[in-house]
Amino acid sequence: MKTLRLIFFVILSLSAGQLYAQNRTQEFGFQSDNDSFLAQGSDRYYTNGLFVFYRRGMDFKNPKLANKVLGIEIGQKLYNAQSGSVPNASYVDRPFAGYLYAGANINYLFRNESNFKVSLQAGVVGPSAKGEPVQKLIHSTFGFYTLNGWQYQVRNNAQINLSVEYNKLLVRKEWFDLTASVYGNAGTGFNGVGAGPLLRFGNFNQLFNSVSTQSTATRNSIAPLHKKEVFLHYKPTFNYVGYDATVQGSIFSKEEDKSSLEITSMPKRTVLSNQVGLTYGGPRWIFDATATFNTKEVKTQVFNTHQWGSVTIVYRFSGHKAIM
């Protein structure tokens, strides 16, 4: 009997080790945003973004949790007027601005398929964000037009921004589910709130182990609904904008503090955003392509809508060797 118990224990230990080894506890990836991805022939407003990130599944003791993920990210966003080349200041209908930051986040994902994510970013809006040289490099590399207008960009202002996000599954069928999503931003540069539903169609996993909630780095042993995620997603969001430093400049500055060339404006307080995309999540690789369509974001904008595409690629890996 002792021998049988020993054999059973060894088999159980090996099985548990193999199961744990199948988990991808870490991932590294990047996301690129650009309005040219949609082949619409425009180069305006939110025109380019690049983000590099690392995520790691964390240990946890709370029995209500199914996953806990730590994330680290650096990113840059570039904003133009109605074009990246304007004849003079009167054509600057949306301020030129760059936003460069580094940040960290912690994502708590619960067994009841809700999650709470907290993010903190520190960075700068203005010339130190290097928006002009990066856009010049892009345009010279691909043979685009010569830029003019960055001399009017928002001046330097330091950024400390906090963001919180909450998602909760409402309905799930075999090929469809519906999640409620809300967020809030507060800080020296970005203040606002938003809410809307997330709809997924296809093969998707639970919210505690899904591309949808950036929770595919995991240490849990809960079986996913599918070995691979392949689904369409649609997310309309109602946004209320309290403050936007890329539009209004420093939250601490007064009108008399502005430089002679700096052009700022006022944001639209309410913005409707629609995101639609296709996601693949496999054992090693994640790919996502999303298109975002926004209503007018700045009161002085000539165009009432703006859209851009996003491409995300993630590589998943384990932090230890598999037990064989």
The predicted-structure confidence for 128-148, as pLDDT tens digits, reads as follows: 999 999 999 999 998 889 999
What percent of the chain lies above the pLDDT cut of 70?
89
The band of 19, judged by pLDDT with boundaries at 50, 70 and 90, is very low
Whole-structure pTM value? 0.89
Q: What is the pLDDT of residue 143?
A: 86
> Average pLDDT of 213-241?
96
Helices (H), the chain: 2-22, 131-142, 245-248
Asked if 65 contacts 45 with a C-beta cutoff of 8 angstroms, the reply is no
Asked if 48 contacts 34 with a C-beta cutoff of 8 angstroms, the reply is yes
Other Cβ atoms less than 10 A from the Cβ of 136: the count is: 15
324 pLDDT exceeds 80? no
Domains of the chain: residue spans and CATH: 2-317 (2.40.128.140)
> Average pLDDT of 85-97?
96
Q: What is the pLDDT of residue 256?
A: 57
Q: What is the pLDDT of residue 41?
A: 77
What is the residue-averaged pLDDT of the chain? 91
CA 127, 129, 130, 131 dihedral sign is negative
Q: CB-based contacts of 235: which residues, under 8 Å, 6+ apart?
A: 181, 196, 197, 198, 199, 274, 275, 276
